[in-house]
């Protein structure tokens, strides 16, 4: 009885926002898509072609996969993994080392599986170590910035800052440049990882714990879900995603260098900024507990769409980086405004 009365006591605006919050955010994102799309059709040449759309999704795939990994970190309330590009860098170097030299044993040189597992293992180790320190109570920014320096340094040291080449044909071509049923392998990977991540978040106990711990660490601890193991797992997921992207990118380039992900990558020069932008443009709560990987995937495609259009209109990299920056600012403002209705009450 009292519950029913109380429902009526909530101000109408609060109820409205509460009910439509989810849908509103999605609607904003979709209408932005529509606006960009229509603008593209009318004002950009060669926009409305299947090849171009494939290119958009393919662009989105690389940082989209990393952003999906980062979404787990952000949703669980552990803020960001700031060593994204450095993790990718050292994993890329590891993979290229394996492909080129077999880590010193010529029998293994060019063995895709060994190189892949080595790269993923490096990702797991760096994720577990950073997650451990965050789980122990370390500030995620400080821990992962420190991690960034160490990871990048080791990769550069190991590779002597040189470009590690391995020549075609090699066993990783199918992942780097191959395609299946008309779509590039990396696009397939993106789609499959996005679906898997969404299922994990929605329908597993682990996914639920991510949201709960992200919403309130203290309450999570009180109900038996500690952030210690959570931090280790989410940082590992994120680092493994970075490792996978690094492998795909290196397989595409047939070479690796420790600063591949700092300079000549994708639209904006800096991988870390681009991935964080993707998570935020998707409308995930920076404080954790609210959002989804589906939003992140849409965010990735949206950024790729805008970037693609700017490329077709002849902008060079400077203005495109400004574009990404503007998208971050815009998303913070819009999502901040619409999220206020309910979350501000906490």
Partner 1 sequence: MSTNPILKISKVSRTFGAIQALKEANFEINEGEIMGLVGENGAGKSTLVKIISGFDPGFKGSYQINGKEVKFETPSQAEESGIAIAQQELSLIPNMSVAENIFLTGAKVKKFATLNTLAKMARPYLDEVGLTEVDPTTRINLLSVGEQHLVEVARLISREAKILILDEPTAALGEAESRRILEMVERLAANGKSIIYVSHRLDEIFKITKRITILRDGVSQGIQETKDIDVNKLVEIMLGRELANMFPSKADHISDDPKLEVKELWPDGVLEPVSFSAFKGEILGLSGQLGSGAGEVLASIAGALQSRSGSLTLNGETFLPKSPSHAIKKKIAYCSSDRKKDGLFLGRPIFENLTSPALGAISKYGFNFGSSEDNYSKNLAKEFLIDVKRMHDESGLLSGGNQQKVALGKWLSIKPDVLLVNEPTRGVDVGAKSEIYQRMRELAARGITIIFASTDIQEITYLPDRVITFYRGMMIDEHRLEKIKTPLILKEITDPFNETNL
Q: How far is the CB of 227 from partner 1 (least distance, A)?
A: 12
79 contacts partner 1 (rule: CB under 8 A): no
What residues from 241 to 280 belong to the interface with partner 1 (CB under 8 A)? Answer: none
Rounded CA separation 193/149 (Å): 28
Rounded CA separation 306/324 (Å): 9
Rounded CA separation 73/88 (Å): 16
Residue selected from 133, 152, 211, 265 as contacting partner 1 according to rule CB under 8 A = 211
Those residues whose C-beta lies under 8 Å from the C-beta of residue 182, and which sit 6 or more positions away, are: none
342 contacts partner 1 (rule: CB under 8 A): yes
295 contacts partner 1 (rule: CB under 8 A): no
- Our CB check for partner 1 shows the closer of 173 and 226 to be 226
Rg for the chain (alpha carbons), in Å? 21
Q: How far is the CB of 213 from partner 1 (least distance, A)?
A: 9
Q: How many CA atoms lie within 13 A of 72 on its CB side?
A: 33
HEC secondary structure over 152-184: HHHHHHHCCCCCEECCCCCCCHHHHCCEECCEE
What residues from 1 to 20 belong to the interface with partner 1 (CB under 8 A)? Answer: 2-4, 6-12, 14, 18
Rounded CA separation 125/141 (Å): 19
Residue selected from 31, 223, 318, 336 as contacting partner 1 according to rule CB under 8 A = 223
Asked whether 215 and 77 are in contact (CB, 8 A), the reply is: yes
What residues from 122 to 151 belong to the interface with partner 1 (CB under 8 A)? Answer: none
Binding-site size, partner 1 (CB under 8 A)? 38
Token pair for 123 = 């990702």
- Could you tell me which stretch among 50-58, 63-71, 207-215, 275-283 binds partner 1 (CB under 8 A)? 207-215
Residue selected from 104, 106, 169, 218 as contacting partner 1 according to rule CB under 8 A = 218
Contact residues toward partner 1 (CB under 8 A) are 2-4, 6-12, 14, 18, 203-206, 208-209, 211-212, 215-216, 218-226, 285, 289-290, 342-343, 345-346
């Amino acid at each position: 009885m009292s519950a029913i009365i109380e429902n009526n006591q909530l101000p109408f605006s609060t109820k409205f926002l509460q009910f439509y919050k989810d849908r509103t955010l999605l609607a904003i994102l979709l209408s932005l898509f529509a606006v960009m799309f229509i603008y593209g059709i009318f004002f950009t040449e060669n926009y409305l072609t299947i090849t171009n759309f494939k290119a958009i999704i393919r662009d989105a795939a690389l940082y989209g996969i990393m952003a999906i990994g980062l979404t787990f970190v952000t949703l669980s309330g552990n803020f960001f993994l700031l060593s994204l590009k450095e993790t990718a860098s050292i994993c890329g170097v590891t993979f290229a080392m394996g492909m080129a030299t077999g880590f010193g044993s010529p029998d293994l040189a060019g063995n895709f599986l060994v190189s892949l597992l080595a790269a993923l293992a490096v990702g797991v180790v760096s994720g577990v170590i950073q997650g451990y320190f965050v789980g122990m109570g370390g500030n995620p920014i400080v821990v992962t910035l420190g991690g960034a320096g160490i990871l990048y340094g080791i990769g550069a040291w190991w590779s002597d800052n040189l470009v590690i080449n391995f020549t075609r044909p090699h066993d990783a071509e199918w992942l780097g440049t191959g395609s299946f049923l008309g779509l590039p392998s990396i696009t397939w990977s993106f789609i499959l990882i996005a679906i898997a991540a969404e299922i994990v978040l929605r329908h597993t106990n682990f996914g639920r714990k991510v949201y709960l711990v992200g919403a309130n660490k203290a309450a999570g601890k009180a109900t038996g879900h500690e952030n210690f193991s959570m931090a280790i797992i989410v940082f590992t997921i994120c680092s493994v995603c970075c490792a996978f992207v690094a492998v795909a990118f290196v397989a595409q380039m047939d070479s690796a260098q420790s600063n591949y992900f700092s300079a000549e990558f994708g639209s904006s020069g800096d991988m870390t900024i681009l991935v964080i932008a993707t998570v935020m443009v998707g409308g995930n709560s920076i404080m954790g507990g609210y959002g989804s990987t589906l939003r992140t995937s849409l965010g990735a495609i949206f950024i790729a769409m805008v970037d693609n259009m700017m490329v077709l209109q002849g902008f060079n990299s400077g203005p495109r980086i400004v574009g990404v920056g503007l998208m971050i600012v815009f998303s913070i403002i819009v999502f901040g405004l619409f999220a206020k209705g309910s979350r501000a009450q906490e």
